[in-house]
């Protein structure tokens, strides 16, 4: 075979080894296999809305997701719209936003951007100046709201995110390590006030997702977020990758396990009911939502630094 493995379904040159089945896939068959799994997820969402939103950071996962959805255009009747949050992270976001715009224009997908300064008056960089909180915590809280506001503005009721099977498996294990049952159930579902969230890549590995972006000519090696430092997730990722290497299929089983537990225990675990925030009126947990708490902390900080 002269060092050139061939696709197990056709005579094409292989680009991918499916380690679980030991089969090789060419570019076309790899893409079709990913598309089939994504379509399978999406058709479970009935009825499909007129407008289908994609949370589009411009990173490889959401880029690949957008490319897959465009490829499935004929099979999904909804109109696609890409929703991007610009958090205002100097030296990082400019480049990913530029990439996001470029991808949308190349794929001919409608694109909307909302910025932290527009919505909250400050960029993430501003928020992080002498803040004692972790950037990812604040960013996560604010970005989720920004995406909800944007989805609401655009009349989007179904929002897909680029989370892949590896993310899913990592989260499952992290939840298990912390024994946080509530998190397992809050992980998806009632997450947003207006838009239902789905993860079409939940059964697609990060390698396949990355490969899809490369094969679609949409992959660029973007800089990493300067604030990214989830050391625990990194550790879990390495551990899981090592385990998957030794025992192919483990990652898929782990990602599947959480969904299985959730669906079997549906309704049996009492979740805290959503409340409307007394300040902004947005639904969340507690009298004052997390976003308003972050904004209040920021205000207090400014007041104390200006001596008021």
Partner 1 sequence: MKIIFPDGHEREIASRGRTIEAIIQEQGLNPLELLVSRDGEIIPEDTIGNESDSIRLIRISHGG
Instruction: Select from 175, 241, 250, 293 the one that contacts partner 1 (CB under 8 A).
Output: 241
14 binds Zn ion (CB under 5 A): no
60 binds partner 1 (CB under 8 A): yes
145 binds Zn ion (CB under 5 A): no
**Which x/- pattern, by CB under 8 A, does the window 220-239 give for partner 1?**
-xx-xx--x--------xx-
User: C-beta of 28: minimal distance to partner 1 in Å?
Assistant: 13
214: Cβ–Cβ under 8 A, 6 or more apart, which residues? Answer: none
Instruction: Select from 86, 125, 148, 206 the one that contacts partner 1 (CB under 8 A).
Output: 206
**Which x/- pattern, by CB under 8 A, does the window 84-123 give for partner 1?**
------------x---------------------------
User: C-beta of 139: minimal distance to Zn ion in Å?
Assistant: 17
211 binds Zn ion (CB under 5 A): no
Report what 277 binds from Zn ion, partner 1, none; CB cut-off 5-8 Å by kind.
Answer: Zn ion
157 binds partner 1 (CB under 8 A): no
Task: Quickly count: other Cβ atoms within 10 Å of residue 165's Cβ.
Answer: 23
Instruction: Select from 9, 12, 59, 122 the one that contacts partner 1 (CB under 8 A).
Output: 59
58/89 Cα distance (integer angstroms): 14
C-alpha distances (whole Å) from 35 to each of 86, 196, 278 are: 28, 21, 44
73 binds partner 1 (CB under 8 A): no
* Crossing angle (nearest 10°) for helices 206-215 and 60-71: 70
Report what 267 binds from Zn ion, partner 1, none; CB cut-off 5-8 Å by kind.
Answer: none
12 binds partner 1 (CB under 8 A): no
User: C-beta of 224: minimal distance to partner 1 in Å?
Assistant: 5
For partner 1, which is the closer residue by CB, 39 or 222? 222
SS (H, E, C) the chain: CCCCCECCCCCCEEEEEECCCCEEEEHHHHHHHHHHHHHHHHCCCCCCCCEEEEECCCCHHHHHHHHHHHHCCCCCCCEEEEEEEECCCCCCHHHHHHHHHHHHHHHCCEEEEEEHHHHHCCCHHHHHCCCCCCHHHHHHHHHHHHHHHHHHHCCCCEEECCCCHHHHHHHHHHHHHHCCHHHHHHCCCCCCCCCEEECCCCCCCHHHHHHHHHHCCCCCCCCCCCCCCCHHHHHHHHHHHHHHHHCCCHHHHHHHHHHHHHHHCCCCCCCCCCEECCCCCCEECCCCCHHHHHHHHHHHHHHHHCCC
Instruction: Select from 210, 250, 283, 293 the one that contacts partner 1 (CB under 8 A).
Output: 210
For partner 1, which is the closer residue by CB, 13 or 266? 13
The residue range among 31-39, 111-119, 217-225, 284-292 that interacts with partner 1, by the rule CB under 8 A, is: 217-225
Scan for tokens 């997702």, then name that residue: 209
244 binds partner 1 (CB under 8 A): yes
Residues numbered 250-289 forming contacts with Zn ion, rule: CB under 5 A = 277, 279-280, 289
Binding region for partner 1 (CB under 8 A): 3-5, 13-17, 24, 27, 57, 59-62, 96, 166, 206-207, 210-211, 214-215, 221-222, 224-225, 228, 237-238, 241-242, 244-245
């Amino acid at each position: 075979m002269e060092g050139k493995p061939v696709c197990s379904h056709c005579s094409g040159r292989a680009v991918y080894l499916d380690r679980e089945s030991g089969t090789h896939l060419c570019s076309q068959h790899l893409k079709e296999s990913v598309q089939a799994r994504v379509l399978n997820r999406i058709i479970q969402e009935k009825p499909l809305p007129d407008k289908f939103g994609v949370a589009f950071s411009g990173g490889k996962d959401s880029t690949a997701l957008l490319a897959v959805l465009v490829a499935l255009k004929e099979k999904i009747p909804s109109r696609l719209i890409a929703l991007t949050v610009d958090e205002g992270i100097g030296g990082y976001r400019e480049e990913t936003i530029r990439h996001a715009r470029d991808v949308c224009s190349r794929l001919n997908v409608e694109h909307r951007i909302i910025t932290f300064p527009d919505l909250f008056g400050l960029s993430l960089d501003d928020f992080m100046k002498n803040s004692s909180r972790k950037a990812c915590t604040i960013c996560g809280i604010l970005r989720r709201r920004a995406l909800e506001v944007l989805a609401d503005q655009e009349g989007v009721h179904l929002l897909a995110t680029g989370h892949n099977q590896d993310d899913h498996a990592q989260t499952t294990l992290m939840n298990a390590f912390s024994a946080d049952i509530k998190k397992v159930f809050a992980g998806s579902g009632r997450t947003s006030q207006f838009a239902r969230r789905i993860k079409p890549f939940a059964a697609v590995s990060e390698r396949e997702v990355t490969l899809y972006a490369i094969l679609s000519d949409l992959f660029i090696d973007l800089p990493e977020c300067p604030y990214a430092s989830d050391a625990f997730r990194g550790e879990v990722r390495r551990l899981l990758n090592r385990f998957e290497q030794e025992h192919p299929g483990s990652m898929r089983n782990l990602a599947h396990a959480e969904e299985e537990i959730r669906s079997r225990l549906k309704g049996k675990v009492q979740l805290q009911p959503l409340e409307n925030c007394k300040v902004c009126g947005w639904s969340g947990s507690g009298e004052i939502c997390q976003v308003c708490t972050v904004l209040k902390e920021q205000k207090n900080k400014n007041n104390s630094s200006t001596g008021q």
